[in-house]
Amino acid sequence: MWKQIGGREAGQIRPNSFSNRVKSNRVSSLQLSNYKDIVSPHRGAVNSLQVDLTEGRYLLSGASDASVAVYDVQRATDYEGGGLIAKHKSIVVVDKQHEQGHKYAVSSAIWYPIDTGLFITGSYDHYVKVWDTNSTQVVMNFKMPGKVYRTAMSSLATSHMLIAAGTEDVQVRLCDIASGAFAHTLSGHRDGIMTVEWSTSSEWVLVTGGCDGAIRFWDIRRAGCFRVLDQSQSQLGRRPPLLERSALNKVSMSKSSSVGQNLSAKLRPQQRKSTNGNGIKQSPIGRIPAKASARQRLHPGMLSGQDRATAHYGAVTGLKITDDGMYLLSAGSDSRIRLWDVQSGCNTLVNFETARLQTSKAIQIATSQDPALVFVPCMTAVKAFDVWSGKTRMAFRGHYEYVNCCWFSSQDQELYTGGSDRKILVWSPSRLISDESDGESMKDQDNWSD
């Protein structure tokens, strides 16, 4: 530690790498925090957690008892145990008593990405609501055709204010906060949509995972989805360096043509429409020649609706795009986690050592950037896997029932987890030795009487 600081002082270590080193050090020592308690007001399973993206200070949680709460994770409301334990009580609570509150379980609660003045909740009572944080009043109301499983807003968006909502219904709806209406209805899934996720590299790209096991990529400027992930399409390991890629592309090209699938999207950037059109023309011929005439009338973008490729056996329960927007992690009810290369749309065949995943509910996955870790709720524990190797790095056991969601705050290097046991736990790096030794040594010692 001191050596690194010395190196930084001397200019041997670049600021970026220095901070990364410190961060990764801290992340590797994550453990259940004894000095930070979040006092959950929820009386049901915590379904969703998010720390705001602007300040990294306010934690938003949504729970099955139709309540939503906001906590300040930086400043504690009161202390306990001689100042040893900081209690973070909720500063805003919206529950059933609230006249505009949700009736049924809140499945998803997210911050408005630009500031903390708004937050959006989706609930099993078919509504997506936009709340003013300061007045805790509903600003906007979207009625959905079914239970809302997940909502998402793009963190990069500068030109739109769309809430993507995954519901029981087969269509993904984009709710426009600016107009208060549905801007898009994206159809293609054959079953309810469990999870939605905006790309972190392009503000137009949306990824959705459905109960039919498909993961679809949508470009909201165009009709239809432009890519369906197929678990059988795979590449080994990380994306090969640029030089080797051309060679590899040829191989996959020939493969794809033989299979007769729409693989063009993964071969070339999606902006290049001409090649895309080629692929579309190719694929149907091999597959369903009898219905060729009917297909001719379909819009080229809608053709992907015919694609029944699956990313998971069973439902896709969780999606997370890494911070650089290059990889997609997906969790399914087949207890698998897959790492997809967004660029190529291939399954990278990383074997994550999950034992079991919760199958009935959508789960929320978190990633950390620098030691590339993915935090996945595995039944009652949260496991941290190495993204590239799939090895279990850490296991966080603390919840007494299933864990539903987790959020990694990269600013504080803290992990927040929420479970069906109504608790929100904070996992933080162990404190520096200097501040640890004062309180604990007083009481927590060996006490041998004989």
Partner 1 sequence: MEDERGKVRALIEMATNSTEREVDPRLLKAIKSVVRYSDPELRLAAQALMDLMKRDHSQVRYLTLLIIDELFMRSKLFRTLVIENLDQLLSLSVGFRRNLPLPAPPAIATILRSKAIEFLEKWNASFGVHYRQIRLGFDYLKNTLRFQFPNLQANAARIQQERREREIKTKEILRNKFEILGQNLSTIKEEIQSTIDEIGECLDIIRAKEENMALAPLDDDDFEEFRSSELRQIRLDSLKEGEKVHENNDNTVVFDALRELYKLLMTKHMGSVQESISVLIRVEVPDNRLRDSMLKELIDIRNRLVSVKKKCEESGCALATNVKEEEEEEEEDFWEEGKIGPTEKGSSSTPSKPKQKLQNLAVASTSGEIKNEQSDNNELRKTDSNSPRSKLLSEAPVVEWGSFLGNWGLDRDFMANQRGLELDNHWGRVDYDAVIPAEKIAELNLQATFYKEEPVEIQPCRAPLRKGGLCQRRDLKVCPFHGPIIPRDDEGNPINQKNPSSDENPIQKNSLIDDETPLDLGSDLSEHLSEQLAKQAIQNVRGREHEEGKKRKIDKQSLNRAKLAKVMEHNEAVLRNAALASTSRSEAVGEDIEVTNGKKSSTRNKKKTLASMLQNKVTTKDRLAQRLLNTRARGATTRQLTMGEEDTYRENFPNQW
Cβ 317 to partner 1, closest distance in Å? 22
Binding mask 5-34 for partner 1 (x = CB under 8 A): ---------------------------xxx
Q: Which CB atom, from 244 or from 440, has the smaller least distance to partner 1?
A: 440
Phi then psi dihedrals of residue 186, to 5 deg? -100, 115
Binding mask 72-101 for partner 1 (x = CB under 8 A): ---------xx-xx----------------
Q: Tell me the CA distances in angstroms from 121 to 75, 114, 131, 136, 334, one per residue in order.
A: 24, 16, 8, 12, 28
Count the residues of the shown chain that bind partner 1, applying the rule CB under 8 A: 26
Cβ 163 to partner 1, closest distance in Å? 33
Instruction: Tokens 């904070």: give the residue.
Output: 426
Q: Which CB atom, from 143 or from 397, has the smaller least distance to partner 1?
A: 397
Footprint (CB under 8 A) of partner 1, residues 389-448: 397-400, 421-423, 425, 440, 443-448
Cβ 102 to partner 1, closest distance in Å? 22
- 3 state SS for 133-201: CCCCEEEEEEECCCCEEEEEECCCCCCCCEEEEEECCCCEEEEECCCCEEEEEECCCCCCEEEEEECCC
Give the number of other Cβ atoms within 10 Å of residue 35's Cβ: 18
The residue among 363, 346, 428, 444 whose CA lies nearest residue 394 is 428
Q: Which of helix, strand or coil describes residue 445?
A: coil
Phi then psi dihedrals of residue 290, to 5 deg? -65, -35
Q: Give the Cα separation of 284 and 296 in Å (integer).
A: 10
CA atoms within 13 A on the CB side of 193: 33
Q: Give the Cα separation of 429 and 384 in Å (integer).
A: 14
Cβ 442 to partner 1, closest distance in Å? 10
Q: Which CB atom, from 227 or from 399, has the smaller least distance to partner 1?
A: 399
Our finding on whether 37 is near partner 1 (CB under 8 A) is yes
Q: Which CB atom, from 99 or from 444, has the smaller least distance to partner 1?
A: 444
Footprint (CB under 8 A) of partner 1, residues 364-383: 380
Which two three-digit tokens encode residue 96? 């059933």
Cβ 345 to partner 1, closest distance in Å? 40
String of b and e for 280-295 (b: at least 16 CB within 10 Å)?
bebbbeebeeeeeeeb
Binding mask 165-204 for partner 1 (x = CB under 8 A): ----------------------------------------
Cβ 425 to partner 1, closest distance in Å? 7
Cβ 417 to partner 1, closest distance in Å? 12
Cβ 400 to partner 1, closest distance in Å? 5
Q: Which residues bind partner 1 (CB under 8 A)?
A: 32-34, 37, 81-82, 84-85, 380, 397-400, 421-423, 425, 440, 443-450
